[in-house]
Structure 1
């Protein structure tokens, strides 16, 4: 059984460092208490995600091939995980007065996603040991943050242009599809691993570029 210090070192600490990395890009830094609240909300959101994924578990163990994997990736991984991450960000921060600038929406969406990734990483490290720690500390964290950043950017644009809150849903759908695609690439090894890494990097660059644009617009 791994000690609490090992779990902290290999899962929680990397998640918090990524929160610091993204939040440092905001000229008007968000209150640490709000960031921590959102981070913890993201961690807690793994519980409803696990519950909602239960009906879809048979597709994970089904041997019928690509179709079952596609259903699981799209609904259990993409829709459920992005859904609870968005819900955590909204309940903890997006609906509050602290989210008062366009860039704030990205910071809080990413922070909730990193909380989710941190809890997920802790579970994987408990199950598989520290051998998976490095790749999850880097790639898994940045992937979850980047997917959430897509609809975080949309939420920021909604603030700028005074759009309907419903305008977030196309970007949310895009995040779901990209998350599902990434999962299929990794789990089924449909492409060489570097393709999955390039996909995450491309989304990450998009989010960072848009974050700077929102910073300037705000």
Structure 2
């Protein structure tokens, strides 16, 4: 029982901690807690259809070796997970009256993604591998990864919502799905291949992903402070 509790706490702590971080980063005109809790909960809930949909897509994997891993990373994991997370944001927050500044899009996308990552973590760490090592590795790699993909998604959703040129709005709207899928797919592909020779590439990619997305977060955060 003690191991179960320890693993459960290890699984849920990263997602909750990062959610609290992004909530308090939004210092003024905070988003309603009820909306954020709903996004987190539905982010968890979509894990179920995601698992089912991924199983269906896996049945169409006719590739071998590297192409098979690329298909799993880009289509099975990347497309499916980012599509469903984005669906939650679009359904619950995109047209919500509280979505009244660009920084909000990042908050909504990140909270949703961390809800998803939390349940995914529970399934992997507590009921799957039952491993502290897996729990710690996912805490520092997988869960922050979901957050970084979500920053990109929220960034482009905000640009789409607040831009004034229709064609640009459509362009940003498409990018809000395509870019996270690409980042997620590359992220998972590098992990799936499990070749030590590409470890430096993975580290470089993580650094790029971090600065690419933190820059977006910083841009909207500074813009928010100027308005205030």
Q: Which residue of 2 aligns with 1:183?
A: 188
**Structure 2: distance between partners of 1:6 and 1:48:** 27
- Per-residue CA deviations over 1:74-107 (Å, capped at 9, x if unaligned) read 2111110100111122223222112211000001
Give the deviation of 1:194 after TM superposition. Answer: 4.7
The alignment status of 1:128 with 2:129, answered yes or no, reads yes
Q: Which residue of 2 aligns with 1:12?
A: 12
Tell me if structure 1 keeps the 8 A contact 2:69–2:189: yes
Tell me if structure 1 keeps the 8 A contact 2:74–2:189: no
CA RMSD of aligned residues (A): 2.3
Q: Which residue of 2 aligns with 1:23?
A: 23
**Structure 1: distance between partners of 2:190 and 2:51:** 22
Q: Which residue of 1 aligns with 2:117?
A: 117
Tell me if structure 1 keeps the 8 A contact 2:11–2:118: yes
Tell me if structure 2 keeps the 8 A contact 1:46–1:120: yes
Q: Which residue of 2 aligns with 1:153?
A: 155
Distance 1:118 1:163, change over 3 A: farther
Q: Decide which of 172, 175, 181 is 1:170's aligned counterpart.
A: 175
Tell me if structure 2 keeps the 8 A contact 1:103–1:215: yes
Q: Which residue of 2 aligns with 1:35?
A: 36
Distance 1:168 1:192, change over 3 A: same
TM-score after normalising by structure 2: 0.85
**Structure 2: distance between partners of 1:194 and 1:45:** 33
Query: Equivalent residue of 2:208, what SS?
Result: helix
Tell me if structure 2 keeps the 8 A contact 1:146–1:203: yes
TM-score after normalising by structure 1: 0.88
Equivalent pairs counted in the alignment come to: 217
**Structure 2: distance between partners of 1:98 and 1:6:** 37
**Structure 2: distance between partners of 1:154 and 1:183:** 22
Tell me if structure 1 keeps the 8 A contact 2:7–2:135: no
Q: Which residue of 2 aligns with 1:107?
A: 107
Tell me if structure 2 keeps the 8 A contact 1:149–1:207: yes
Distance 1:200 1:45, change over 3 A: farther
**Structure 1: distance between partners of 2:27 and 2:161:** 18
**Structure 2: distance between partners of 1:163 and 1:146:** 27
- Per-residue CA deviations over 1:180-208 (Å, capped at 9, x if unaligned) read 11111001124533532442332232222
Tell me if structure 2 keeps the 8 A contact 1:42–1:115: yes
- Larger mean CA deviation between 182-191 and 145-154 belongs to 182-191
